[in-house]
Amino acid sequence: MNDIIYMDNHATTPIAPEVLEAMMPYLTTHFGNAASTHPFGVKAADAVEKARHQVAELLGCSAEEIIFTSGATESDNLAIRGIAYVCQEKGNHIITSTAEHHAILDTCHALAAEGFETTYLPVDNYGRVSPDDVEAAITSETILTSFMYANNEVGTINPITDIAAVAAKHGVLFHSDAVQGIGQLPSNMEMLGVDLASLTAHKIYGPKGIGALYVGGKGQHPRSLFYGGGQEAGIRPGTLNVAGIVGLGAACELSKKYMETGKSSVAILRDTLHRKLMVSLDNLYLNGHPEQRLPGNLNLCFAGVQSHAHLAGLKRVAVSTGSACDSESVKASHVLVAMGVPNALALTAVRFGLGRYNTGEEVDIVVDEVVKVVNRLRALAPE
């Protein structure tokens, strides 16, 4: 694996050495249950509260506003279903967009099957939701709006402060799946104006299987989806994943430092990769917004080169396709389709996700390998 270059940081990130170091004692000697009253439990509970403060520090909120979960899929479910159930006396309408992650889309589909009304707003050619469309879609029945901070496929950043202002004006709650934005983009929840936000550790150099839901103090708490002990104020019962929580806290603290000091280096590498590919190859198309985009995201269509063949040809580079494959068929990404990318072109998309540990030398190797593979596959294609 050592000679494979990892450029798939939107899928997951490696654990930072500092994060692993912080977690180790809680996987070994400090193994207590944070709910126990003896010293093993107190040690674990103290670590959980320290981590809660570290997360809160990154989000510019108070520690009481953080609920630990198993990751963003659970946070999204808790936010959408938990709010839908608790607010159903007020109304039954939820608004989201067609370019959301399946953790949101499929949760909304499930609620629709239970009788809730759901509206899926279109996105523009860059993948952005229009605040005007949000305003036009709000009815007296609307209880919740949910729009992602930044798209996980094309990196496009939604105008979430403007959307938040529209939701607030109409007294409607606003949830954001902020997984890809938190720790990379401004992350102060109050300044963004969101009422609820989902995050996950494994996108910010922390461990998998741990995340959180931010629930603003003045807002509505979601109803718990689980029955069990009273952990996390009863909103998310279950024995706390102490080592994971410590890892999430450390990852948040590190991200905050990195945002302040190391900022634009990832975007510079990403732009170098883009420029060098453009110089060597023609018929390349950028997906997503050219500026309002995550610093490490480069999603390109390589016309005429099917993405699954492209990926199979790359032996030294780990990247992703923009399309979801199953054993029977290859489907174009729902995000690219929502953005109006023609189906045949959407099937040629490749997502490069650069991260904190990538280097300029790696960019050169990736360019070399991609150019060779694309030229070879184009040469084989029938005219």
Ligand X SMILES: Cc1ncc(COP(=O)(O)O)c(C=O)c1O
Q: Which residues are catalytic?
A: 325
Residues 169-188 that bind ligand X (CB under 6 A): 177, 179-180
Applying CB under 6 A, the span of 35-43, 71-79, 159-167, 352-360 interacting with ligand X comes to 71-79
Q: Site for ligand X (CB under 6 A): which residue of 9, 13, 73, 77? A: 73
- Mask: binding to ligand X, 321-350, rule CB under 6 A, as x and -? ------------------------------
CB of 103 to ligand X, least distance (A): 5
**Tokens at 25, concatenated:** 């004692």
Angle between helices 242-261 and 39-59 (to 10 degrees): 30
Separation of alpha carbons 101 and 198, rounded Å: 12
Q: Which residues pair with 196 in a beta bridge?
A: 175, 215
Query: In Å, how far are 188, 339, 349 from 31, measured between CA atoms?
Result: 32, 48, 45
CB of 184 to ligand X, least distance (A): 12
**Tokens at 74, concatenated:** 């659970």
Bridge pairing between strands 142-146 and 173-177: parallel
Residues 245-304 that bind ligand X (CB under 6 A): none
- Mask: binding to ligand X, 206-235, rule CB under 6 A, as x and -? -----x------------------------
- Give the helix/strand (H/E) hosting 213: strand 211-215
Alpha helices in the chain (DSSP H): 17-27, 39-59, 72-86, 102-113, 131-137, 160-169, 189-192, 242-261, 265-280, 307-313, 334-338, 343-346, 360-380
Q: Site for ligand X (CB under 6 A): which residue of 15, 72, 144, 373? A: 72
CB of 70 to ligand X, least distance (A): 7
Q: Site for ligand X (CB under 6 A): which residue of 71, 207, 216, 296? A: 71
Q: Site for ligand X (CB under 6 A): which residue of 9, 142, 200, 307? A: 200
Dihedral Cα 59, 61, 65, 71, nearest 10 deg: 0
- Give the SS3 label for residue 34: coil
CB of 342 to ligand X, least distance (A): 24
- Closer CB to ligand X, 72 or 332, in the complex: 72
Q: Is 378 exposed, middle or buried (0-12, 13-18, 19+ CB in 10 A)?
A: middle
Residue nearest to ligand X (CB): 71
Contact yes or no for 53/250 (Cβ under 8 A):
no
With CB under 6 A as the rule, give the number of residues binding ligand X: 13
- Mask: binding to ligand X, 121-160, rule CB under 6 A, as x and -? ---------------------------x---x--------
- Closer CB to ligand X, 335 or 373, in the complex: 335
**Tokens at 329, concatenated:** 């068929």
Q: Is 111 in the site for ligand X (CB under 6 A)?
A: no
- Closer CB to ligand X, 9 or 231, in the complex: 9
Q: Site for ligand X (CB under 6 A): which residue of 43, 52, 81, 101? A: 101
Task: Provide the 8-state DSSP code for 14.
Answer: P
Contact positions toward ligand X, by CB under 6 A? Answer: 71-73, 76, 101, 103, 148, 152, 177, 179-180, 200, 211
